[in-house]
Structures are given as structure tokens and as C-alpha cells.
Amino acid sequence: MFLRTFGWSFGVSIAALVVAFLYGGPQALFLCLVLGVLEVSLSFDNAVVNARILERMNPFWQKMFLTVGIVIAVFGMRVLFPLLIVGLTAKLSPVEAVQLALEKGPIEEPGTYAYILHHAHPQIAAFGGIFLLMIFLDFFFEERHIKWLHWLEMPLAKVGRMNGASLVVGLFALAVIGQLTAPETQGTVLMSGIFGMVTYFLVKGLGELFDVDESGEIDAGDIPTAAGGTHGKGPNKAVQASGKAAFMLFLYLEMIDASFSFDGVIGAFAITSDPIIIALGLGLIGAMFVRSLTVYLVRQGTLDEYVYLDHGAHWAIGALAVILLLTIGIEVNEVITGLIGVFFILTAFIASLRRNRRTAREPEPAETA
């Protein structure tokens, strides 16, 4: 199972390292390896969330995520997205943006590719931070049968009973961040945050166009439920999304994947500004392993066996959202970003183990005649 799931990732990683060595020698190989490790460490919580959505799709759409999805992840987010941001910010044509990227100027030098992308970080962080914050809020504002951190999740569930609670909290968070932002970037930060919120509600709202049909197709309007688990009942393996519902889940999954990758893409420029090395390390190595880990979690049924992993992943999403929003005004080391996600996942895993052992020790109820 392990080799079958991760075989392609190991193969692609070896090929990427060979290409990096041929491209830039031992230094490029080392940087490519560092970026791959960085991406996996930053995206472990992403894999848990992805797995919960992916298990709701039929085999065809699962393959789409692993084929078309990986193309979007590697070339869309790790190559085209930075080029698009630099092109729009510096008012450059696509060809000029590529030429600027290949010049490999340092991040401290004004006018370089790395410098321009670094200074576009407030807008990127506002969009991604608000998008992830809405996912976190909608998960914990919903009443759940299973709770991990009762002292936090109980009050959040009570707040969630208020209509539009996530929208109110999201707008309040954006207003606070706007006040803490430098005046020259305040307008763009607020607009980017609003676009992040609109994107979330648009993807969520589009799902309401589709209903469960007689074939058992799930309601894609319940996208946050699919993303956030099954309320402690375990997934219904017989009910998997197909057709329009699966397409909506696929779009939602790609949006989450993109939002998670923002911090990795920006953080990569603290290591190297070479777009080729970033594509090889973050894209081919990092993104492939994250996808393999996602599939492994689905096939092993890990999320059903360790019931607090969903909660840990969404607490990690909330932490990442807050960090992204804070980085608009202050510097946060990428190591902290990565370790917070790992901390929540590992803590939730350990808590799940303890719960399983405790449940196993409990005597089964006596059968009544």
C-alpha cells in the first residue's frame, strides 16, 4: 500500500532532483530538496483536509485531482501564479515577467522578480487568510457530535447558532487587519480580503444549485460538511459525489489547495528566487507528496479511525489564517508556520489514539433479551 501510493512521488522527486542538479549543480539540488521538505511540512494539515473532501468523490474525480489537480498545483500555483502577480504589480507582459523571473535578482533589490512578489504579499495574504478563516469558522460554528477541545469548540458552536456568524466574524477580522495595515496598502488589502470572502461564499453558494438525485449523488451545496467531516458518524462510502456535485467539490478542493500554497510560495523566495528551482522543489516534490499523503489517508481510512484529525487540521487552518493575516504587517518565520500545523495534527492524532484506547477498554452494553 505504501509503495503503491508513494511510488510516483519518490520517482518524480528523484527526477526533479536530477534536473535541479543538471540545471544548477549541487547548490540547486540542495535548495530543491529544502523547498520540497518545506512544502510537505507546511502542507500536512492541507493533506488531512484534502482527504476528507476526496473521500466524497468517486474514483474518476479522485483521479482528476491526482492528474489535472497536480498540473494546477505545480504550474498554476507555483509557476503561473507568481508570474501573474508580478506582471500585474509591475505592469509587465507575460513575456517580460518570465524574462524578469529568469534574471534571478535578489529579494532585497528593487525591481527584481523576488522583490516585486515579496511586496505583493499583503494582498496575497489577505485573500488567502480570509478564505482559510472562513473555512475554519464554518467548521467550528457548526454543532458537532464529536468535539476535541471542548472548552473552545463548545462556545464556538454556540456562537455559530447566530445567523451569519462566520460572515460577521470574518468582516470584523478584516476590519482589524485593515486598521493595522500601512495606509499605502490598506485599500488593496481590504479589497483582497473581500475578494477572498466572496470567492469562498461563491464556491459554497454555487453548490446549492445541485441536489441529491435518485442515483445517490451527494448535495454539493453541503461542501463545507464534506470538507469538515461527517459529524462523528463516519463517511458514507456508498454515497460518493459524481457529475456536477463532484465538479463543485473539485473546485472547492483546488481553492483550498491554492490557499494553503500561498505561504509556501512566498516563503520560498526567502530561500531562492529562481522560479525553476521553486517549481521543482515546491511543485514537483512538495505537491506530489502532499497528494500521495492525501490518497494514503483516504485509502487507509485514517480520518475515520482517528476522529480528532479533522479538528486538528481545522485548528491548523485557523492558525495559518491568523498567521497569514498577521504577516501583512509583521514578519513571521516560515518555520513557525510549518510547526504550528504539525503541532495541531500530531496533538490531534495522539488525542485520537487515547480516545480509541479508552473506548476499547469500556465494556460493551449487555444485550437485552
Query: Would you say residue 100 has pLDDT above 70?
Result: yes
What average pLDDT score do residues 25-40 get?
83
- List pLDDT tens digits, range 46-87: 777 778 778 777 778 878 877 787 777 777 777 777 777 777
Find where cell 473506548 sits. 359
- Answer for the pair 297, 47: CB distance below 8 angstroms, yes or no: yes
Q: What are the DSSP calls for 281-329, one per residue? A: IIIIIIIHHHHHHHHHHHHHTHHHHSTTHHHHHHHHHHHHHHHHHHTTT
- Answer for the pair 169, 151: CB distance below 8 angstroms, yes or no: no
Q: The dihedral of CA 25, 23, 8, 98: what is its sign?
A: positive
CA–CA distance, 30 with 247 (Å, rounded to integer) = 38
Give Cα 30 distance to the centre of its chain: 25
Lowest average pLDDT, out of 70-74, 206-210, 246-250, goes to 206-210
- List pLDDT tens digits, range 252-279: 777 777 766 766 666 666 567 677 888 8
CA–CA distance, 322 with 262 (Å, rounded to integer) = 13
Backbone angles phi and psi of 211, in degrees to 5: -125, 165
Q: Is 61 left (phi over 0), alpha (psi -120 to 50) or beta?
A: alpha
Q: Which three cell numbers stand for residue 212?
A: 441529491
Q: Which three cell numbers stand for residue 40?
A: 510537505
Q: The dihedral of CA 30, 36, 39, 40: what is its sign?
A: negative
Query: Would you say residue 224 has pLDDT above 50?
Result: no
User: Residue 291: what pLDDT?
Assistant: 79
- Answer for the pair 212, 218: CB distance below 8 angstroms, yes or no: yes
CA–CA distance, 346 with 126 (Å, rounded to integer) = 28
Q: What's the pTM value of the predicted model, to 2 decimals?
A: 0.70
Q: The dihedral of CA 182, 188, 191, 193: what is its sign?
A: negative
